[in-house]
Amino acid sequence: MSARTKARKRALDVLYGADIRQIPLNQALATEAERAANEPQREASWMYAREIVDGVVDNGDEIDEQIETYAQGWTLARMPVVDRAILRIGVWEVLFNDQVPDGVAISEAVEAATVLSTDDSAGFINGLLAKISQNKSH
């Protein structure tokens, strides 16, 4: 598993945990940062995980607006918590991280959904992220 894949998993854990516990993302991020400081062997994955979560915090309104716009008939509140977290990471990578090709971001999100969510989630996430990628201003 690549360092970025591990980082996405760590970011997903932070986003998911904050959503489930209904705590601010910054608080969840601070807790994870403290934990990461005690795990120097995992530093490579932590740096990108922190970049993802910071990006979701900084661009959360736009990310959620994009998800709501393209999730035909689905509100964020109706989505499984894990799907919301996966989508927020995927949308951040597609729209705000030029270092990751859109296809890679989408593929990673679909893989996470396949492993962690419902049978229908992978297809839903794939379609939604593909639409956002196609419609972003280049």
Q: What is the spatial distance between Cα 35 and Cα 41, in angstroms, rounded to a whole number?
A: 12
The predicted model scores a pTM of 0.93
Number of domains in the chain: 1
| The predicted structure's pLDDT at residue 90 | 98
Q: What is the CATH number of the domain that holds 78?
A: 1.10.940.10
pLDDT in tens, the chain (138 residues): 788 999 999 999 999 999 999 999 989 989 888 888 888 777 778 899 999 999 999 999 999 999 999 998 889 999 999 999 999 999 999 999 999 999 999 999 999 999 999 999 999 999 999 999 999 865
What is the pLDDT, as a whole number, of residue 42?
Answer: 72
Q: Would you say 32 and 10 are in contact if contact means Cβ atoms under 8 Å apart?
A: yes
Does residue 81 contact residue 16 with C-beta atoms inside 8 Å?
yes
pLDDT at position 137: 66
- Supply 109's token pair: 């999100």
Q: Which two tokens stand for residue 52?
A: 């993802």
Q: What are phi and psi of 97, to 5 degrees?
A: -120, 100
User: Domain of 67?
Assistant: 3-135
For helices 3-21 and 25-37, the axis angle rounded to 10 degrees is 130
Query: What gap in Å lies between CA 116 and CA 9, rounded to an integer?
Result: 11
